[in-house]
């Protein structure tokens, strides 16, 4: 099919909606497009309206406060500065002065954005001071355990929020996020989460082809986030136990949720987004082989049973020296969508015979756009919604994906079948009773043993 026929087919109405007239596809067949039955009305497709541009529109000044100045927070601060004109970072908050000063120095040297001393806040309550400092918007990139309380405070203060994923580490946190998400919607706030694939052109176009019915009804999927070991911090003599854990947060379940929650949530969210479903139950297993700090697993394998009978095999691993795979395969009754792969640039739809009938054209994207970084594009999306006064709130959707990942972790840790209702009713709350930079009883942090652990 040629490009004009593809875009003008009655069943493909709206296929250019995300990118305008220059939809980024590659023609794969000389015949006209077949008629597809959409999975749901186009009006229900939760996609960006209009064009996803390189940079957000100009407008009234936006002053942002950054809560959490580590690697992701510093990166998000730069993404915000790159995303639009007339924006600035006016307040910073973190637990530790060295991380705050590193972010502050980068903003000053790279953007000429100098955050004054009286707008730099430390300690466990730094988020309150940042939010109360006169900012218009808030960027939350602390360890996931702290995000529910910070999001609540920001929403109560009426601030637009960029909220990094995952949104919580336990059911108590997820329920808190959902409640405050609904409050944010009632207030007309703009809340974008760190599920950056929702602001990535290749995934947006893939989503629209799947929703158009190109692969038929979704019947199963395989999702993978297998990669090398992430970073870790060995304890320095001057650090207390609490300081060490927070600096090494990505390796501790109470802070990160384990890597099935902290990272694999991207792939879990991808399937939930494409299918518009959530799991009924799951059974999983996992293990710890080579992790050097913390109390987490190195690998998970989970069978999710979704509403309607669909099964999703979810696999994630963080071990050096193994085959890596960050991809997704969604099977439908008429074909399959394949996304990601070793170069993360393989977005294709095949029919039941394996013939390619659609694929995203990355070279065309490079010709039409300059900004290709999804972490910046999500801020472009966020700022455009704010300046257009078009409320958006992704928090509840991402909270559901976060809970899906938590289900898998709990099943793997315990060996039990876990249901959605189990999680929604669970009183699990992993937050420590006392938040102080002191030494702790480290015996409480043990690696779970399936069949014996009850978490």
Say if residue 109 is in the same domain as residue 174: yes
Secondary element (H or E) of residue 3: helix 3-8
Q: Domain with 271 in it: what CATH number?
A: 3.30.360.10
Q: Distance between CA 347 and CA 303 in Å, rounded?
A: 24
Tell me how far apart the alpha carbons of residues 113 and 168 are, in angstroms, rounded to a whole number.
31
Q: Within this chain, do residues 247 and 311 fall inside the same structural domain, yes or no?
A: yes
Give tens-digit pLDDT for 19-71.
333 345 443 444 444 557 788 777 776 566 566 899 999 999 999 999 999 99
Tell me, yes or no, whether 184 and 229 share the same domain.
no
Same domain assignment for residues 324 and 181: no
CATH number, domain with residue 75: 3.40.50.720
Cβ atoms of residues 153 and 120 within 8 Å: no
Q: What is the pLDDT of residue 346?
A: 83
What pLDDT sits at residue 13?
Answer: 27
pLDDT given for residue 147 in this prediction = 98
In a domain, 251, yes or no: yes
Q: Between the CA of residue 302 and those of 167, 181, 265, 418, what are the distances in Å?
A: 20, 28, 13, 11
Residue 38's pLDDT is: 84
**pLDDT 10s digits, 162-214:** 999 999 999 999 999 999 999 999 999 999 999 999 999 999 999 999 999 99
Whether 183 and 253 map to the same domain: the answer is no
User: Is 5 domain-assigned?
Assistant: no
What was the pLDDT predicted at 256?
Answer: 98
The pLDDT assigned to 356 comes to 95
Say if 379 falls within a structural domain: no
Shared domain for 354 and 240, answered yes or no, is yes
Shared domain for 247 and 172, answered yes or no, is no
193 and 222 inside one domain: no
Q: Which residues of the chain have pLDDT under 50?
A: 1-23, 25-33
The confidence score (pLDDT) of residue 22 equals: 37
Are 180 and 266 found together in one domain? no
Residue 212, pLDDT score: 93
Q: Are residues 330 and 259 in the same domain?
A: yes
67 and 164 in a single domain? The answer is yes
Q: Given this model, what pLDDT does residue 2 score?
A: 34
In DSSP terms, 138 is beta-bridged to 65, 161
Q: What domain range is 352 assigned to?
A: 218-358+396-444
Number of compact structural domains in the chain: 2
Same domain, residue pair 190 and 232: no
């Amino acid at each position: 099919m040629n490009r004009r026929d593809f875009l003008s087919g009655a069943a493909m109405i709206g296929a250019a909606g995300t990118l305008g007239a220059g939809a980024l596809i590659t023609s794969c067949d000389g015949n006209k497009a077949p008629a597809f039955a959409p999975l749901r009305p186009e009006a229900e497709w939760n996609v960006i309206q209009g064009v996803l541009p390189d940079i957000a529109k100009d407008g009234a000044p936006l002053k942002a406060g950054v809560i959490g100045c580590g690697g992701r927070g510093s990166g998000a601060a730069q993404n915000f500065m790159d995303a639009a004109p007339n924006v600035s970072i006016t307040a910073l908050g973190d637990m530790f002065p060295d991380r705050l000063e590193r972010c502050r120095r980068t903003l000053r040297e790279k953007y000429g954005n100098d955050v004054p001393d009286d707008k730099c806040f430390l300690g466990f309550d730094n988020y309150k001071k940042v939010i109360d400092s006169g900012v218009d918007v808030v960027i939350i990139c602390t360890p996931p355990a702290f995000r529910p309380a910070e999001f609540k405070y920001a929403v109560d203060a009426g601030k637009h929020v960029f909220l990094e994923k995952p949104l919580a580490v336990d059911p108590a946190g997820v329920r808190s996020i959902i409640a405050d998400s609904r409050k944010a919607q009632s207030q007309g706030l703009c809340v974008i989460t760190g599920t950056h694939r929702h602001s990535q052109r290749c995934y947006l176009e893939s989503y629209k082809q799947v929703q158009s019915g190109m692969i038929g009804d979704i019947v199963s999927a395989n999702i993978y986030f297998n990669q090398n070991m992430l970073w870790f911090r060995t304890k320095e003599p001057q650090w207390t136990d609490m300081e060490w854990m927070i600096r090494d947060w990505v390796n501790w379940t109470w802070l990160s949720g384990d890597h099935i929650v902290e990272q694999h949530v991207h792939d879990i969210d991808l399937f939930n987004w494409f299918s518009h479903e959530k799991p009924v139950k799951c059974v999983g297993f996992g293990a710890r082989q080579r992790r050097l700090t913390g109390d987490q697993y190195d690998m998970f394998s989970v069978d999710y049973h979704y509403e309607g009978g669909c099964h999703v095999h979810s696999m994630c691993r963080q071990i050096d020296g193994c085959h890596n795979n960050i991809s997704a395969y969604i099977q439908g009754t008429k074909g399959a969508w394949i996304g990601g792969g070793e170069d993360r640039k393989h977005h294709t739809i095949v029919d039941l015979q394996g013939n390619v009938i659609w694929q995203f054209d990355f070279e065309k994207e490079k010709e039409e756009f300059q900004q290709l970084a999804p972490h910046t594009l999500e801020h472009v999306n966020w700022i455009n919604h704010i300046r257009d006064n078009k409320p958006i709130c992704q928090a509840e959707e991402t909270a559901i994906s976060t809970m899906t990942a938590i289900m898998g972790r709990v099943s793997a840790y315990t060996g039990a079948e876990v249901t959605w209702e189990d999680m929604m009713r669970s009183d699990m709350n992993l937050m420590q009773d006392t938040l102080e930079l002191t030494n702790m009883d480290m015996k409480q942090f043990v690696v779970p043993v399936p069949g014996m652990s009850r978490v």
